[in-house]
Structure 1
Amino acid sequence: MGLLDTDLQGQNHRCVLVNGPIIIGAGPSGLAASACLRSHGVPSIILEKTDCIASLWQYRAYHRLKLHLPKHFCELPLMDFPPNFPLYPTKQQFISYIESYAEKFEIRPEFNRLVKSASYDPVCGFWRVKTADLSNGFLGNFVEYIGKWLVVATGENAEPLIPEIDGLNKFLGPVLHTSVYKTGEEFKEQKVLVVGCGNSGMEVCLDLCSHGAEAYMVARNSVHILPRDMFGISTFGVAMSLLNFFPLKLVDKFLLLMANLMLGRTEKYGLRRPSIGPIELKNGSGKTPVLDVGALSKIKSGGIKVMGGVKEVTHRGAKFVNGEEKEFDALILATGYKSNVPTWLKECDFFSEDGMPKMPFPNGWKGEKGLYSVGFTNRGILGAAQDARKVASDIALEWRKFSQFKRFIVIKPSLK
Structure 2
Amino acid sequence: MDAVVARSERCTCIWVSGPIIVGAGPSGLAVAACLKEKGIGSLILERSNYIASLWQLKTYDRLSLHLPRQFCELPLMPFPSDYPIYPSKQQFIAYLESYAARFGIRPTYNRTVVHAEYDEQLLLWLVKTRASGKMGDEVEYVSRWLIAATGENAEAVQPAIDGLQEFEGTVLHTSAYKSGSAFAGKRVLVVGCGNSGMEVHVLPREMLGLSTFGLSMLLLKWLPVHVVDRILLLIARAMLGDTARLGLKRPTFGPLELKSLSGKTPVLDIGTFAKIKSGDIKIRPAIRHISGREVKFLEGQSEEFDAIVLATGYRSNVPCWLKVIWMFYSSTYASVVHYTINVFY
TM bin (shorter chain): over 0.9
* One-letter amino acid matched to 2:145: W
CA distance in 2, matches of 1:347, 1:296: 43
Match of 1:270 among 242, 247, 257: 247
The total of aligned residue pairs comes to 344
Match of 2:313 among 304, 328, 336: 336
Q: Is 2:272 the partner of 1:295?
A: yes
Match of 1:373 among 338, 341, 345: 338
**1:358 alignment partner, SS class:** helix
Match of 1:358 among 317, 330, 334: 330
Q: Contact between 1:220 and 1:308, CA under 8 Å: does it hold in 2?
A: no
- Between 1:321-330 and 1:256-265, the stretch displaced more is 256-265
**1:312 alignment partner, SS class:** strand
2:191 paired residue number: 195
- Deviation track 1:212-233 (CA, whole Å, cap 9, x = no partner) reads xxxxxxx953111111012321
Q: Contact between 1:76 and 1:381, CA under 8 Å: does it hold in 2?
A: no
**1:257 alignment partner, SS class:** helix
- Structure 1 residue 247: deviation in Å? 2.1
The 5 A counterparts of 1:17-416 are 17-134=15-132, 138-198=134-194, 220-349=197-326, 358-359=330-331, 364-366=334-336, 372-375=337-340, 380-381=342-343
- Structure 1 residue 140: deviation in Å? 4.2
CA distance in 2, matches of 1:127, 1:249: 40
Identical amino acids, percent of aligned pairs: 53
| Structure 1 residues 6 and 141: CA distance shift in structure 2, 3 A | farther
**1:238 alignment partner, SS class:** helix
* One-letter amino acid matched to 1:8: R
Q: Is 2:7 the partner of 1:8?
A: yes
- Deviation track 1:184-227 (CA, whole Å, cap 9, x = no partner) reads 0111101110011117xxxxxxxxxxxxxxxxxxx953111111
* One-letter amino acid matched to 2:170: P
TM-score normalised by length of structure 2: 0.95
- Structure 1 residue 158: deviation in Å? 0.7
CA distance in 2, matches of 1:313, 1:220: 18
- Structure 1 residue 349: deviation in Å? 2.6
Runs of 5+ consecutive residues of structure 1 not aligned to the other structure: 200-218, 352-356, 367-371, 383-416
TM-score normalised by length of structure 1: 0.79
**1:131 alignment partner, SS class:** strand
* One-letter amino acid matched to 2:44: I
CA distance in 2, matches of 1:280, 1:343: 27
- Structure 1 residue 263: deviation in Å? 1.3
- Deviation track 1:14-46 (CA, whole Å, cap 9, x = no partner) reads 211001001111111111111111111111000
Runs of 5+ consecutive residues of structure 2 not aligned to the other structure: none
- Structure 1 residue 297: deviation in Å? 0.6
CA distance in 2, matches of 1:19, 1:160: 33
- Structure 1 residue 87: deviation in Å? 0.8
CA distance in 1, matches of 2:261, 2:6: 48
